[in-house]
Amino acid sequence: MAAPIQQFINQVDDNPGPRYQPPWEFLSIDTNTGVGGKYIYIGYTLGEENPVTSVDFVAYSQAQANPPSGGVGPDKT
């Protein structure tokens, strides 16, 4: 059985990617396709401890200056 996903991260760039960024694996789909702007890719890590058990995606009608509060990632604890 495959290991569960432990963490998610976004990779945002002016150029097509995704870029190599260990220890992350990235989906090769630009999640911003068709709307212009930067290239956005979803990355993840796998592991047996502390698996992701739910994911919420939030859509906005305009650009956001700051991410929503309550997120967890490599820059947050």
pLDDT of residue 76: 44
In this prediction, residues 42-54 reach a mean pLDDT of: 94
Prediction pTM value: 0.74
Tens digit of each residue's pLDDT (9 = 90 or more) over 5-43: 999 999 999 999 999 999 999 999 999 998 888 999 999
Asked if residue 5 lies in contact with residue 43, where contact means CB atoms within 8 angstroms, the answer is no
> Which sequence spans correspond to the domains of the chain?
1-77
Tens digit of each residue's pLDDT (9 = 90 or more) over 54-70: 998 877 787 777 766 66
Asked if residue 2 lies in contact with residue 48, where contact means CB atoms within 8 angstroms, the answer is no
pLDDT of residue 68: 64
Q: Where are the alpha helices (DSSP H) in the chain?
A: none
Looking at residue 65, its amino acid is A
